[in-house]
Amino acid sequence: PNVWGGAGPPRPAPPRPLSPSLLLILVTSAPGNSEPRQVIRRTWAAHEGQTANQWQSVFLVGQSADIGVAHGIQREQQEFGDILIGNYQDTYRNLTLKVMHGFKWVAERCRPSYILKTDDDCFVNTDRLPEFLLEHNTIKTGLYAGSLFSREKRQVIREPSSKWYVSRQDYRPDEYPPYASGIGYILSLDAVERILWAAEHVHPIPVEDAYVGILAEKAGIRVKSSARFAKHNVRWRVCNYRYLMVIHHLSPQEQEVAKGNMLQARSACHESLEVTRWK
């Protein structure tokens, strides 16, 4: 069935992947979030640095029941060509479906060396991350890195009214294995493929980042903890932008400030020692 309704123009084509590409950034976004997407396009996703032709960002968006919003998405994709529109209902409990759909598209159509999965309220340091992957990262396969949760925060939530509720039928253990926060994690392409393989054998749960952790464990991939992924948005100093790769929870104004700091950090931080490891 034509989810867009008979009256609209034909459904726009999926994004055109760069090839070969170093890094694909998958950004989960709700259909109505056109403002955060616009801000991202003019801040960290604007291609300005030396590695600009080696990475690409794509928004993951599902179906909206609101016809006006659905048409808006279609127009946005026609204009920018950076939205992967999935055939699932776009709800929070469907976030796992959204991310798995993105992974499948990456594995089948895009095949970059690495992916970063992040959200539309995050800042991504596109000035440093591609360069870091090219010049400093030594873990070329089986890479899964991000900000890990403490053991207490890995307890499975059994309270049915919670946004993160998971039943015992869907996942039996009381604790998740170590996993990287969904604000941002990096996977090498082989890790994406192994995770997709594991997904064929493990029942999905709606907690996307925990599910990826469960799949990674099943696929024999060990998660790497890195302080380069910041769960808390504090007033980072300019030279912190030589180090941080993802910062969570930014308003549109803060995205502009973060971009300014990222650009300033290129030339302003010659005094600070370059950190070349994940930690």
Ligand X SMILES: *[C@@H]1O[C@H](CO)[C@@H](O)[C@H](O)[C@H]1NC(C)=O
The binding site for ligand X (CB under 6 A) comprises 88-89, 91, 93-94, 97
Q: What is the DSSP string of 132-177?
A: HHHHT----SS-EEEEEPPSGGGBPP--TTSTT---TTT--SSBPP
Residues 6+ apart with CB under 8 A from 119: 27, 28, 29, 182, 183, 184, 248
Residues 6+ apart with CB under 8 A from 122: 27, 183, 184, 246, 247, 248, 249, 250
Report the residue number, 93 or 222, with the smaller CB distance to ligand X: 93
- Encoded tokens for 172: 């039996």
Least separation, in Å, of the C-beta of 86 and ligand X? 9
- Encoded tokens for 202: 């493990």
Least separation, in Å, of the C-beta of 88 and ligand X? 4
Number of Cβ within a 10 Å radius of residue 88: 15
Least separation, in Å, of the C-beta of 5 and ligand X? 16
Strands of the sheet with 229-230, listed across from one edge: 122-124, 246-248, 229-230
Contact between residue 22 and residue 134 where contact means Cβ atoms under 8 Å apart: yes
- Gap between the Cα atoms of 93 and 200, Å rounded: 19
Least separation, in Å, of the C-beta of 121 and ligand X? 21
Least separation, in Å, of the C-beta of 97 and ligand X? 6
Report the residue number, 97 or 129, with the smaller CB distance to ligand X: 97
Report the residue number, 160 or 220, with the smaller CB distance to ligand X: 160
Report the residue number, 169 or 267, with the smaller CB distance to ligand X: 169
Least separation, in Å, of the C-beta of 221 and ligand X? 27
Report the residue number, 89 or 276, with the smaller CB distance to ligand X: 89
Least separation, in Å, of the C-beta of 214 and ligand X? 19
Q: Where are the beta strands (DSSP E) in the chain?
A: 23-28, 55-63, 83-89, 114-119, 122-124, 144-148, 180-188, 224-225, 229-230, 246-248
DSSP state of 200: T
Helix (H) or strand (E) holding 212: helix 208-218
Longest dimension (CA), the chain: 61
Least separation, in Å, of the C-beta of 204 and ligand X? 11
Report the residue number, 28 or 94, with the smaller CB distance to ligand X: 94
Q: What is the DSSP string of 29-41?
A: --TT-HHHHHHHH
